[in-house]
Amino acid sequence: MANLANKTALVTGGSRGIGAAIARRLAADGASVAITYTRGADAAAEVVKAIEGAGGKAIAIRADAANAGAVQAAVEQTVAAFGGLDILVNNAGTAIPKPFEETSLEEMDRVIDINLRGVLVATQAALKHLRDGGRVITIGSSVGERVMTPGLVAYSATKGAVKLFSQGLAREVGPRGITVNTVQPGPIDTDLNPAAGDWATPQIATTALKRYGHVDDIAAMVAFVASPEAGYVTGASLSVDGGTNA
């Protein structure tokens, strides 16, 4: 497929897991891709190497999603490298699973700064460059709709917030043909939430399919939303959760 040929995408938190899968898929569909990372320069370099090895174009930019200046600079660097911006994927996120009463203010601030403030900052910076007909896609969560897994209170609050942010922004930028959507994963097998981990059993129990999903499941939905075929999909919350919220 090359339905994203001549398009440029920026994927925040694109060095591993869901973000890396999204970056590889958008590149496979023809887009030039920039990824940001906080730690793990080697992992980011491997993503770039894989994309380039398949004939695509990619760059990696170190930028902590909690650092507004770094996020804004990453947007500018992407535009400078590829000559414009068509797709923003707000993927960078974090969770600190523990009972809310035991969660420190510093931990809450970190989750809010990355999962919510970082999305607002990146999106505002991107909109200054995003071409008409562009895409803003934010990775939310099934717990942004309904929380059945204990220990994710602050995290779920940020994911519910980005869902409503996307809905509101869709109306503001719709006249430019820009679509704004949220993709909401359920339990996905990653380093941060492994299918063999201590938290896996209760998460699997909440799904209709009784299994974890794969990072490519999320990448496929993002690729669709980024494509021309999804031009009339905006303000949507698209669940890829194995029936968690069915």
For every residue of 130-167, DSSP letters joined together read EEEEEEEEEE--GGGT---STT-HHHHHHHHHHHHHHH
Which region holds residue 105: left if phi is over 0, alpha if psi is between -120 and 50, else beta?
alpha
Q: How far apart are CA 164 and CA 177, in angstroms?
A: 19
Q: Which two tokens stand for residue 192?
A: 């941060």
Q: What's the half-sphere exposure (Cβ side, CA atoms, 13 Å) at 67?
A: 12
Active-site residue, 155 included: yes
Closest-CA residue to 89 (of 9, 6, 16, 21): 9
Q: How far apart are CA 31 and CA 133, in angstroms?
A: 15
Q: Return the C-alpha torsion angle 199, 16, 3, 230, nearest 10.
A: 40
What single letter denotes the amino acid at residue 89? V
Of the listed 37, 155, 212, 232, which one is catalytic? 155
- Helix, strand or coil, per DSSP, at residue 179: strand
Q: Which residues belong to the active site?
A: 155
